[in-house]
Amino acid sequence: MFSLKGKTAVITGGGSGIGKVMSLLFAQQGALMHIIELDIKSATDTVNEIEANGGKAFQYACDVSKQEQVIAVFEKIGAADILINNAGIAHIGRAHTTNEEDFDRVYNVNVKGVYNCLYAAIPLMKSNGGGVILNTASIAAHVGIVDRFAYSTSKGAIHAMTLSIARDYLHDNIRCNSISPARVHTPFVDGFIAKNYQGREDEMFDKLSKSQPIGRMGKPGEVAALALYLCSDEAGFITGTDYPIDGGFITLNN
């Protein structure tokens, strides 16, 4: 089950964190991987790891917030069976403490970056007879998270975009879903704790873990497994749906 043999997959932000684990898993399941990254070194490292394990992958340096760059990359890739819009950035702040520059930066990557990839990829998918799109949203699209105004705004947009794409392209054989992770243990989390809580790393890691009702953070591999299912033929009856993967955060944390 969940074989991706013969499939071509594109993933943005596939060089690190959850995106890297997705890339490795999809390649393991037989997909030809195209990894789009701002940081080309991380993309190259992921490609090298995929190929060392017998897979095949290509990397592209691209700022997803720049439509010209995105279109040029997709022209090189051609039609893909799977698109995962995973690239994104975080921001801490409330409405009155988030300046215009930071708000625009989050919007340009997290929202416009997804739009740019959809704009470039969907015509190719249509000409190829269909495909699957998976967008990375967040629990912040569903519940209020303290000090995450710009980030929550962007992820709420991703949820709405997912519904729109699913509706508009039903008859083009294009499925579109999203996933909404809670806190997942990635190198980003470790770096955030080390930067902001020097000398209290263990304490803060434990506190952040226990803020999830299930008592721990998610694992990147758990998110990747959900993504694999939703992008596989076994999920062919699923479109226009968001899947929380949150240790009970949305429904139990009240």
Q: What is the pLDDT of residues 219-237, one digit of tens each?
A: 999 999 999 999 999 999 9
Alpha-carbon gap, residue 68 to 62, rounded angstroms: 10
Res. 115: pLDDT tops 80: yes
Alpha-carbon gap, residue 41 to 140, rounded angstroms: 30
Per-residue pLDDT tens digits for 2-38:
999 999 999 999 999 999 999 999 999 999 999 999 9
Overall CATH class of domain 8-182+220-246: alpha beta
Average pLDDT over every residue of 207-217:
92
Alpha-carbon gap, residue 181 to 139, rounded angstroms: 6
Average pLDDT over every residue of 114-129:
98
The helix (run of H) or strand (run of E) holding residue 61 is: strand 57-61
Backbone torsions φ then ψ of 197, nearest 5 degrees? -135, 55
Nearest to 120 by CA among 84, 161, 73, 165: 73
The catalytic residues are 151
Percent of the chain with pLDDT over 70: 100
Res. 191: pLDDT tops 90: no
Please list, residue by residue across 185-216, b when 16 or more beta carbons sit within 10 angstroms of its beta carbon and e when fewer do.
bbeebeeebeeeeeeeeeebbeebbeebeeee
Given a contact cutoff of 8 angstroms between Cβ atoms, the answer to whether 252 and 169 are in contact is: no
Average pLDDT over every residue of 41-69:
98
DSSP 125-159: HHHTT-EEEEEE--GGGTS--TTBHHHHHHHHHHH
Confidence of residue 130 (pLDDT cuts 50, 70, 90): very high
Percent of the chain with pLDDT over 90: 92
CATH 3.40.50.720 boundaries in the chain: 8-182+220-246
pLDDT at residue 169, rounded to an integer = 98
| Residue 96: count of CB within 10 angstroms of its CB | 7
Mean pLDDT computed over every residue of the chain: 96
Strand partners, 148: 93
In sequence order, which residues have a C-beta less than 8 Å from that of residue 160 and are 6 or more positions away?
A: none
Task: Name the least confident of 51-55, 112-116, 143-147.
Answer: 143-147
Given a contact cutoff of 8 angstroms between Cβ atoms, the answer to whether 142 and 180 are in contact is: yes
Res. 137: pLDDT tops 90: yes
pLDDT at residue 195, rounded to an integer = 84
Per-residue pLDDT tens digits for 161-179:
999 999 999 999 999 999 9
Confidence of residue 254 (pLDDT cuts 50, 70, 90): low
In sequence order, which residues have a C-beta less than 8 Å from that of residue 10 and are 6 or more positions away?
A: 34, 36, 74, 77, 80, 82, 83, 84, 117, 121
Alpha-carbon gap, residue 182 to 82, rounded angstroms: 23
pLDDT at residue 188, rounded to an integer = 82
